[in-house]
Structure 1
Amino acid sequence: MTENGVRNRLKNGKKSEVSSVTNGDVIKENEFKVRESPLTELIQSSLHIRAIYNIFVVILLVLFCDTVIYDLVERGKINIGLGVIAAGFGDIRRGMKLWLYDFCIAMAFYPLLVAYSWAGKVSRKYPVLRPTVMMLGIVGVIAVEVAAAIVPVVELGRKHLELGSSITVTCEMFRYMMKLVSVSVACGPRCLSGNLPLPTFKHYVYFMFAPTLLYRDQYPRTKRIRWGVVVFHFLEVAAIIFYNCFLWERFIMPYWSDYGKERTVEAGTLVRGMFACVLPGVISFLCGFYCVLHAWLNAWSEMLKFGDRLFYEDWWTTSQFSLYYRRWNRVVHSWLRDHIYIPLAPHAGRPLATYLVFLVSAIAHEVILALSFGFFYPVLLVEFGLIGVVMVPLTAKSGQLFPNVFNLIMWLGFFIGNGILWSLYPMEYFARRNCPVLETDSYFIPKSWSCPEVILKPNWTFQNPLRIFTK
């Protein structure tokens, strides 16, 4: 497929796969079908995109050489970043136990579903029991969701896991919870009506590992597993983990690892550190997208012969924030659309339904970060749930009229936003490690606001930059 063909497919896909609510009628996106990820097609068909891919590989190799040579010259040993990875995934056994707990909860849900189907059969014979059975089903789903969340949340709140392990545990917790909701919505009504059979346990387990959050009785499947593709994508995942560890070790820790050891810090030092984090922040942002939504999901799709691999669309070309949020992560967006937006929009209206989608998504992201870092610091909540929501209507029409200008504005926002994230979260993280422990310390109050004290440079005065023209 040529590069123009890929672009045409993306454009046609956007026209044919639109979800909206008009006069109470729900128009859903097309069902699953066999298709590749956009970057897979672009890398295969365009030498330009392949060159950009190679540039990122070269940057990784340069960072690798920088780490090896620097540590060899400075310390007389070779460091390939394994120390940062080992520290980031510390106490992995405890993390595996928490993941296994959620997996067992998900597996235990199937026999509960079978039991509810039996209760539904009884309610068809005795209609007076139907409201009670329906209420029991709703309460049961809520109880299972609470059970899936309560242990990881309490355990991570009681004793903090290292960043990599805690992010994995919390993301898996949300993944299982969202899948259980999807199964409940799809299978709950059929348990009461008896019109359709329940999925087999084999298909249920397949859904739990499939790279989608929407339950269907059937998914398009490919004919064979290309193990070379699986190995290649997992190698990409491993390389990106190294990539982010190099960025953390070479660009973040030199600026923020000592934050809080001194009682005061100059404002200029903070500003310089924040701007220094802009470029590594964006690179990490792009690498994280590619790692999770492309390499990881494509590897599992290949192993499971899952045919539909449109996990994202060409969000990097958009000039409207609403389109960016739809295209960035189609896996989560589809779940939010089907289980929050579509049920609410006819009753609450599209604006309120849209805002609630943003609110739920922003809170979920913030919970993941709070449990992962070990403190509540709602920087992402403000960027995503406040500024992002405001930008949706502001770019709705203007983005169509001036696409090039607003695409540039969006990328400027990505650069600045990621620079702020990669500055404020490390500042708070190291402030809690380096600053003295006080009785007033709180999980919810940022410590970096009070320790250390931010001061201006001694004898600092404002000088008019236009004075040179008045002399």
Structure 2
Amino acid sequence: MHRMGLLEILNPVNWESLKLGLLKDFLKFKNYKQFQPPQMKPAFMQRIDSHFTEFVNGLIAKSVQLESSPPAFSSPVELRAPPEHGKVFVARKSVLDELFEMKDIRTIHHVFIAFFIMIILCTLIVDSIDEGRLVVKFDLLVYAFGKSSVVFSTWLYMFLSTLTVPYGLFLLWAQGYHGSSHKTIRSTFFGGLFTIFQIFGLGVGPAYIAIAYNLPPASAAIVIFEQVRLLMKGYSFIRENTSRILSFTPQKTNTVQVPKVSQYLYFLFAPTLIYRDAYPRNPTIRWSYVATMFAEVLASLFYVHYISEIYIFPVFRKYGGEHFNVRGLVLCILHTMLPSSLATITLYYLLLHCWQNAFAEMLRFADRMFYKDWWNSTSYASYFRTMNVVVYDWLYYYAYKDFLWLFGKKFKAVAMLSVFLFSAVVHEYILAMTFGFFCPVLLFVYMCFGPFFNFILSDRRKSPIWTVILWLTLGLGTTMILYLYSLEWNAHKHCPLKNPTFLDYVKPRSWTCHLKV
């Protein structure tokens, strides 16, 4: 319940009506108690109980009314769709922002900032002693984010095409749909054009650029993440607005209500993958908060760079240049499990908290539920639901629920496995395009160990020991995946093929490359 809502419920008018009713009954009791004192006391108490019951019922009704109404700072446009129609957006903070309001949790955050400052100082001092001057090596970051001009031009092409093509196709289809005598053919034609754009214009085009220009890992990741994000946003826009046109009745109004370009443009930047004409909005922008978030983005990048350069990559260079063997895998996992887990958590914090909240604040986007308390999960099912709520919402409403709508609720297990497979394929595609080779390690882990752990670590298990097991398996799995990808990276670097066949592209090269580096 909103704080102002509670104050509105407990206003003086409500209290005065309660006191007035009690005063009238008390006067009645005082005037007539001399005639029937034994009988008047139960009647008086019954009247008091009646007044209190009426007062409490009024409080409950008022609270329900306030809960169902939009916040005071929201847009006058209807923000909430019925539950069966999709996600409901409400004004709320991110989980970590709420936790940072607690003094003890905020102190832990400050301790991490102190650790970061110590890392910078130690790095500068060590470099000054070794190099004789104050120098910080950023060779890894410079390489990983190289060819920035290609990245920016590719992003601009993807953004402008997503802004114009889906909106233009939808506008043309919607304006002539109800006046057309061949609605099915018209819908199929424009739906086919949109599918062609999604596959070739927004799918094949950026992927080809990433391969042709041999983009380094971080730059390729930016292009592919943006590609996937815009693909999902374009689909959501069409998916959410098609029903609006299909349910339109020309008898009531002669104008087809289609979203404005400004609404679609806002959605393309908003930190959500579910389209709405309007979202809950905050009244002001806290620019100090935006600056803090971007500063923490840079700090997190430096922290991941430091951990990788000092603790992870030296081990991968030592054990990742040889042919796969159990000894190298075990030693690599033992050496890098902790730093790999720290780097992964830092990346989560960078992308899901700092980056999302920075753009949400600049856009005054009030629903900050980008993630939940995934660190408290006792099962992998809960972990996947809470780790990235933005992506989970899209998969739930457009993949899982649509699958059940098509095939029936009795296929819930098949729907869950289908969504799991789709997510695994997309993640594997992102990694393949990022590193420039196909090595289905993540796909194998997703499809083999994912359902198994999802069944073993189910939602029925609530003991904290299962949270410990979840964290251990996450750390183990992350380190094993990084080690296997480092093997494949070195194999492609030191064992190039002159005339590769299609099988050479899909078969891991580390199986045949025995070069020791």
Structures share fold, TM-score greater than 0.5: yes
1:451 aligns with: 513
Which structure would you say has the larger RCO, counting Cα contacts within 8 Å and 6 or more residues apart? 1
Structure ID, larger Rg: 2
| Cα 1:272/1:380, change in 2 over 3 Å | same
**After the TM superposition, which residues 280-295 of structure 1 pair with which residues of structure 2 at under 5 Å, given as runs?**
280-295=339-354
Q: Residue 457 of structure 1 aligns with which residue?
A: none
SS in 2 for 1:51: helix
1:404 equivalent in alignment to 2:467: no
2:110 to 54, 68, 84: 54
- On the 8 A contact 2:428/2:440 being kept in 1, the answer is yes
Contact 2:87 2:393 in 1 (8 A): no
Matches within 5 A, 1:176-325: 176-194=230-248, 197-257=257-317, 268-325=327-384
CA distances 1:69-123 after superposition (whole Å, capped 9, x unpaired): 3333333344434322111101111111211111121111222221111221322
Deviates more, 1:209-218 or 1:190-199: 190-199
TM-score (norm 2): 0.77
Q: Does structure 1 residue 105 correspond to structure 2 residue 161?
A: yes
Q: Compare 68-77 and 421-430 and name the one that shifted more.
A: 68-77
Deviation at residue 292 of structure 1 after TM alignment: 0.8
Shift of 1:26: 8.0
Q: State the partner residue of 2:144.
A: 88
- Indicate if the aligned counterparts of 1:319 and 1:395 stay in contact, CA closer than 8 A: yes
C-alpha contact 1:374 1:443 (8 A) present in aligned 2: no
Contact 1:322 1:396 in 2 (8 A): yes
- One-letter code aligned to 1:332: V
Separation in 2 of the partners of 1:37 and 1:268?
Answer: 43
Evaluate the alpha carbon distance shift between residue 44 and residue 260 of structure 1 in structure 2; reply closer, same or farther with a 3 A threshold. closer
Deviation at 1:264, TM superposition (A): 6.9
Percent identical residues: 30
Residue-by-residue CA offset, 1:382-417 (whole Å, 9 max, x unaligned): 2233312222222225513xx212111101111101
Task: Kindly indicate whether the alpha-carbon contact (under 8 Å) linking 2:169 and 2:194 is maintained by their aligned counterparts in 1.
Answer: no
Match of 1:91, as an amino acid?
K
Quote the residue 1:364 is aligned against. 426
RMSD: 2.5
Q: What residue ranges of structure 1 are gaps of 5+ in the alignment?
A: 1-15, 17-24, 455-471
Counterpart residue type for residue 38 of structure 1? V
Contact 1:163 1:373 in 2 (8 A): yes
Compared CA separation, residues 177 and 318, structure 1 to 2 (3 A): same
**Displacement after TM superposition at 1:269 (Å):** 4.7
State the partner residue of 1:36: 93
Q: CA deviation at 1:369?
A: 0.5
Q: Which residue of 1 aligns with 2:34?
A: none
Gaps of 5+ in 2: 1-66, 68-81, 250-255
Q: Is 2:483 the partner of 1:423? A: yes
Partner of 2:223: 169
- Are residues 1:138 and 2:191 paired? yes
Q: Distance in 2 between matches of 1:79 and 1:446?
A: 39
Q: Distance in 2 between matches of 1:200 and 1:50?
A: 42
Over 3 Å counting, the alpha-carbon distance change for 1:199 and 1:357 in structure 2 is same
Q: Report the secondary structure of 1:342's partner residue.
A: helix
Local SS of the residue matching 2:417: helix
Residue aligned with 1:212, SS? coil
Task: Answer yes or no: is the 8 Å Cα contact 2:147–2:215 preserved in 1.
Answer: yes
- Contact 1:116–1:191 (Cα < 8 Å) also in 2: no
Query: 1:244 offset after TM fit, Å?
Result: 1.2
> What TM-score comes out, normalization by structure 1 length?
0.84
Offset of residue 34 of structure 1: 0.5
SS in 1 for 2:487: helix
Describe the SS at the equivalent of 2:368.
Answer: coil
User: By how many angstroms is 1:37 displaced?
Assistant: 0.4
Q: Summarize deviations over 1:146-187 as a string: whole Å, max 9, x none.
A: 111111112223332111111110000000000011000111
Within 5 Å, give how 1:370-381 maps onto structure 2: 370-381=432-443
Cα distance in 1 between the residues matched to 2:511 and 2:207: 26
Give the stretch that moved more between structures: 208-217 or 84-93. 84-93
CA distance in 2, matches of 1:83, 1:257: 16
CA contact (8 A) 1:38 1:312 kept: yes
**Residues 259 and 431 of structure 1 are in contact (CA less than 8 Å); yes or no, is this contact kept in structure 2?**
no
Tell me which moved more, 342-351 or 176-185: 342-351
| Contact 2:145–2:218, Cα closer than 8 Å, also in 1 | yes
Deviation at 1:215, TM superposition (A): 0.4
AA paired with 1:382?
A: F
- 1:68–1:194 Cα change, 3 Å: same
Q: Secondary structure at the match of 2:461?
A: helix
